[in-house]
Chain A
Amino acid sequence: MFYREAGQFKTSYKADQALMPILQDRIGLSVILVVAFVIIPAFANDFFLTSIMIPFLVFSLAAIGLNILTGYCGQLSLGTGAFMGVGAYAAYKLTTMFPDANVILMVLLSGVFSAAIGAIFGLPSLRIKGLYLAVTTLAAQFFLEWCFIRIGWLYNYNASGAIEVPHREVFGIVASGAEATPIVRYFIVLCITAGIAFLMANVLRGRIGRAWMMIRDMDIAAELMGIRPLQTKLMAFAVSSYICGVAGAMMVFFWLNAAEPSSYSISLSFQILFMVILGGLGSLSGAFMGAAFIWILPVFLKFIPGTLGIEIAAETVEHVTFMIVGALIIFFLIVEPHGFARLWQIAKQKLRVWPFPY
């Protein structure tokens, strides 16, 4: 009833291949963009921006990165956290080496380093598949974490062993460092995330995205059809790690202000993997939904007892949160193994035929 493609005829392949061929989808996206760019900045308080929106966007971007590798190219990775860390440390080194450069550019550039490292750790993927590949990425995770701790040059030999984001201005506005206002950070993070998501949507619907999916669905058949497996997989590793690297750099520059090696540990890798799986493998919008679920749900859980007037120790809340998140993950996997993206599709199907059952 409300959501129909009936009557929306396409008269050219160009129109048929558009990102959102259905009018209602375009309206929906515009509403989301207006909310994100106008309404939230206008009405949200600092807490909402720093504790919910900025981390949500950072994690969404990381989830998009992992989704490219795992969801679209079918290569399971448990090293996302470390690749994010490479981005963070690279951005830190770049900004301290070139203090006058535009910090946003440096963040975007830092992804190049994690892309290179990701591609190196992707090399074994030619011979190793599935869970075996997970070991490769675990090797990356633990090796890189070790590098963050042991190589003093990476954190400029700080006594604390942590990286602290320096004060940087872009066009006279404080963009990073402790003085940067949440609203500025929010806009930077939002623009980068939305921009990369849009560019990736383009790549994924074209030749390269198709090649990735061919490798995912049936690698042997893909090779027999002329896809070069190594090149294609390495590209997925590089693109994915680039995005994760940028997300990692944003995480420290526009959200946390400081980070230590443990910020990029294996639990971060798992967190991102959860977002991807729950959101839906092979879905960009799923990455956002998964990130929202995994990040925002625990935040809410923390505040529920307080608002109900129940006094519970902070530790207990954390433990219970762990339990609930774990249980919900299992629950959603049972209900819909293909994630929120599939649930959303089902919902759209229902809307299409509403008020009739089919």
Chain B
Amino acid sequence: MLYDIFIDPFVQMYEMPDFFLQVLWEGFVAGILYALIALGFVLIFKASGVFNFAQGIMVVFAGLTLVGLHENGVPAYVALLLTIGVMGVLAYGVERVVMRPLVNQPDIILLMATIGLTYFLIGFGEFVFGGEPKQMITEELGLPTGSTAFEFGERGLVILQHIDIAAAVIAVIMVASLGIFFNKTRIGRALRAVADDHQAALSVGISLNQIWAIVWFAAGLVALATGIMWGARSDVSFALEIVAFKALPVLILGGFTSIPGAIVGGLIIGFGEKIGELYWGGLVGGGIESWLAYIIALIFLLFRPQGLFGERIIERI
């Protein structure tokens, strides 16, 4: 038993390095996708202190809209533009209908409102596009679909899906551009001001409403990108919603307000999950992927309650 837990997995890793590399790659890709979802959370949390539970469903919704429009005869790129428009309308609507009337309410109320939004979007998405899973229009969007096999050592083979590589590249570009946006532009500075203190930001003439609409729109764009990438790997379906909960441990690791934190956290969870499942999961009957991420985050929290990048909390009174 102890051998199985502490020695055997490492022996396997050593003996089959190609398999281990493949697992690492899988973990990396999963991690990138978790990070993208977490990124959407971080954007909104940074600017409004709202923990947006609807980010997961926004991913599904964006993907569904894109595919649904294409199914109805809209060319892929036009559908993409239209979907961006829809996310813009959604952002404006959320700001107008949900956020504005609830300003200054306690966190839990805002959290519940986003869960209400989740329910609404689930119902709305199913109502418009139907509940069954859809195929992502990967090729039509000009995304690569093939795969490359790398020979490794004498008999090993590591297979990389092109779409995964594309996902990684897109994620990097998105994080970089968001970083520039936050740090270099006027709106970015306003965003950081709002994140720090709503009232102080208001008092120097920053429009909260405008900022929130922009942030929700940015989160919508991130959701769209996530939806395309995730949809290309599996299907666009409401099952994704459960996966979105994984963003929570990612955020715990990376901190709720740190964009690099979301990426690092996503990768840790992605690696940890895949390695845990494939090397240790068998010992307890498999399927531990469903909860391993939370346990990793939990153990982590017990030692560092402030998260990976957070500062040490000094409680004051």
**Residue in contact with A266 in the complex, picked from B122, B123, B126, B242, CB distance below 8 Å:** B242
Q: Distance (Å) between the CB of B112 and the closest chain A CB?
A: 5
Tell whether, in the assembled complex, residue A334 and residue B119 are in contact, meaning their CB atoms are under 8 Å apart.
no
| Contact partners of B109 in chain A: CB under 8 A | 277, 333, 337
Quick check: is A315 within 8 A (CB to CB) of the other chain? yes
Quick check: is A130 within 8 A (CB to CB) of the other chain? yes
Q: Distance (Å) between the CB of A342 and the closest chain B CB?
A: 12
Nearest chain A residue, comparing its CB with the CB of B304: A127
Tell whether, in the assembled complex, residue A326 and residue B287 are in contact, meaning their CB atoms are under 8 Å apart.
no
Tell whether, in the assembled complex, residue A277 and residue B108 are in contact, meaning their CB atoms are under 8 Å apart.
yes
**Residue in contact with B301 in the complex, picked from A76, A124, A277, A318, CB distance below 8 Å:** A124
Given the complex of chains A and B, what is the CA–CA distance between A131 and B250 in angstroms?
Answer: 13
B51, B98, B127, most chain A CB atoms within 10 A: B127
Quick check: is A128 within 8 A (CB to CB) of the other chain? yes
Give residues 139-158 of A contacting B (CB, 8 Å): 139, 142-143, 145-146, 149-150
Q: Mark B94-122, 1 if CB is under 8 A from A, else 0.
A: 00011001100111110111011111111
Quick check: is B149 within 8 A (CB to CB) of the other chain? no
Tell whether, in the assembled complex, residue B113 and residue A143 are in contact, meaning their CB atoms are under 8 Å apart.
no
Can you spell out 19 A-B residue pairs with CB atoms less than 8 angstroms apart?
A: A135-B252, A135-B294, A135-B298, A139-B295, A142-B290, A221-B317, A274-B115, A315-B131, A319-B123, A322-B122, A323-B119, A325-B123, A326-B121, A327-B116, A330-B97, A330-B116, A333-B105, A333-B113, A333-B116
Provide the main secondary structure of the chain B interface. helix
Nearest chain B residue, comparing its CB with the CB of A316: B127
Tell whether, in the assembled complex, residue B127 and residue A329 are in contact, meaning their CB atoms are under 8 Å apart.
no
Quick check: is B7 within 8 A (CB to CB) of the other chain? no
Tell whether, in the assembled complex, residue B301 and residue A329 are in contact, meaning their CB atoms are under 8 Å apart.
no
Tell whether, in the assembled complex, residue B120 and residue A146 are in contact, meaning their CB atoms are under 8 Å apart.
no
Quick check: is B59 within 8 A (CB to CB) of the other chain? no
Nearest chain B residue, comparing its CB with the CB of A142: B291
Q: Mark B294-305, 1 if CB is under 8 A from A, else 0.
A: 110110011001
**Residue in contact with B112 in the complex, picked from A124, A136, A273, CB distance below 8 Å:** A273
Q: Distance (Å) between the CB of A69 and the closest chain B CB?
A: 13
Quick check: is B285 within 8 A (CB to CB) of the other chain? yes
Q: Mark B279-311, 1 if CB is under 8 A from A, else 0.
A: 000001111101100110110011001000000
Tell whether, in the assembled complex, residue B119 and residue A326 are in contact, meaning their CB atoms are under 8 Å apart.
yes
Tell whether, in the assembled complex, residue B112 and residue A134 are in contact, meaning their CB atoms are under 8 Å apart.
no
Tell whether, in the assembled complex, residue B113 and residue A329 are in contact, meaning their CB atoms are under 8 Å apart.
yes
Quick check: is A270 within 8 A (CB to CB) of the other chain? yes
Query: What residues of chain B have their CB less than 8 Å away from a CB belonging to chain A?
Result: 51, 97-98, 101-102, 105-109, 111-113, 115-124, 126-127, 131, 242, 245, 248-249, 252, 256, 284-288, 290-291, 294-295, 297-298, 301-302, 305, 315, 317
| Contact partners of B301 in chain A: CB under 8 A | 124, 127-128, 132, 135-136
Quick check: is A51 within 8 A (CB to CB) of the other chain? no
Tell whether, in the assembled complex, residue B126 and residue A319 are in contact, meaning their CB atoms are under 8 Å apart.
yes
Known A-B contacts A330-B116, A333-B109; the reply to A322 vs B123 at CB < 8 A is yes
Tell whether, in the assembled complex, residue A139 and residue B116 are in contact, meaning their CB atoms are under 8 Å apart.
no
Known A-B contacts A124-B302, A128-B305, A266-B242; the reply to A320 vs B113 at CB < 8 A is no
- List the 10 shortest-distance A-B pairs measured between CB atoms, nearest first: A322-B123, A326-B120, A326-B119, A329-B116, A323-B123, A139-B294, A142-B291, A319-B127, A143-B291, A330-B116
| Contact partners of B126 in chain A: CB under 8 A | 315, 318-319, 322
**Residue in contact with B248 in the complex, picked from A135, A224, A327, CB distance below 8 Å:** A135
Give residues 271-303 of A contacting B (CB, 8 Å): 273-274, 277, 281
Quick check: is A257 within 8 A (CB to CB) of the other chain? no
Quick check: is A31 within 8 A (CB to CB) of the other chain? no
Given the complex of chains A and B, what is the CA–CA distance between A132 and B299 in angstroms?
Answer: 12
Given the complex of chains A and B, what is the CA–CA distance between A323 and B273 in angstroms?
Answer: 34
Given the complex of chains A and B, what is the CA–CA distance between A321 and B120 in angstroms?
Answer: 9
| Contact partners of B317 in chain A: CB under 8 A | 220-221, 224
**Residue in contact with B120 in the complex, picked from A221, A274, A330, CB distance below 8 Å:** A330
- Number of A interface residues in the complex (CB < 8 A): 45
**Residue in contact with A330 in the complex, picked from B117, B288, B291, B297, CB distance below 8 Å:** B117
| Contact partners of B315 in chain A: CB under 8 A | 220
Given the complex of chains A and B, what is the CA–CA distance between A64 and B269 in angstroms?
Answer: 35
Known A-B contacts A139-B298, A143-B295, A150-B284; the reply to A326 vs B117 at CB < 8 A is yes
Tell whether, in the assembled complex, residue B295 and residue A330 are in contact, meaning their CB atoms are under 8 Å apart.
no
Quick check: is A138 within 8 A (CB to CB) of the other chain? yes
Nearest chain A residue, comparing its CB with the CB of B128: A319
Tell whether, in the assembled complex, residue B116 and residue A135 are in contact, meaning their CB atoms are under 8 Å apart.
no
Nearest chain B residue, comparing its CB with the CB of A127: B305
Tell whether, in the assembled complex, residue A130 and residue B123 are in contact, meaning their CB atoms are under 8 Å apart.
no
| Contact partners of A145 in chain B: CB under 8 A | 290-291
Given the complex of chains A and B, what is the CA–CA distance between A224 and B252 in angstroms?
Answer: 28
Tell whether, in the assembled complex, residue B120 and residue A127 are in contact, meaning their CB atoms are under 8 Å apart.
no
Given the complex of chains A and B, what is the CA–CA distance between A145 and B242 in angstroms?
Answer: 13
Given the complex of chains A and B, what is the CA–CA distance between A149 and B297 in angstroms?
Answer: 23
Known A-B contacts A146-B290, A333-B112; the reply to A323 vs B120 at CB < 8 A is yes
Given the complex of chains A and B, what is the CA–CA distance between A139 and B293 in angstroms?
Answer: 8
Nearest chain B residue, comparing its CB with the CB of A152: B285
Given the complex of chains A and B, what is the CA–CA distance between A127 and B312 in angstroms?
Answer: 13
Known A-B contacts A135-B252, A146-B287; the reply to A322 vs B297 at CB < 8 A is no
Q: Distance (Å) between the CB of A5 and the closest chain B CB?
A: 30
**Residue in contact with A134 in the complex, picked from B98, B248, B286, CB distance below 8 Å:** B248
Tell whether, in the assembled complex, residue B102 and residue A333 are in contact, meaning their CB atoms are under 8 Å apart.
yes
Given the complex of chains A and B, what is the CA–CA distance between A166 and B316 in angstroms?
Answer: 56
| Contact partners of A326 in chain B: CB under 8 A | 116-123
Given the complex of chains A and B, what is the CA–CA distance between A228 and B287 in angstroms?
Answer: 38
| Contact partners of A128 in chain B: CB under 8 A | 301-302, 305
Q: Distance (Å) between the CB of B303 and the closest chain A CB?
A: 9
Tell whether, in the assembled complex, residue B287 and residue A337 are in contact, meaning their CB atoms are under 8 Å apart.
no
| Contact partners of A327 in chain B: CB under 8 A | 116, 120
Q: Distance (Å) between the CB of B284 and the closest chain A CB?
A: 7
| Contact partners of B113 in chain A: CB under 8 A | 329-330, 333-334
Nearest chain B residue, comparing its CB with the CB of A134: B248
Given the complex of chains A and B, what is the CA–CA distance between A166 and B134 in angstroms?
Answer: 41
Tell whether, in the assembled complex, residue B287 and residue A150 are in contact, meaning their CB atoms are under 8 Å apart.
yes
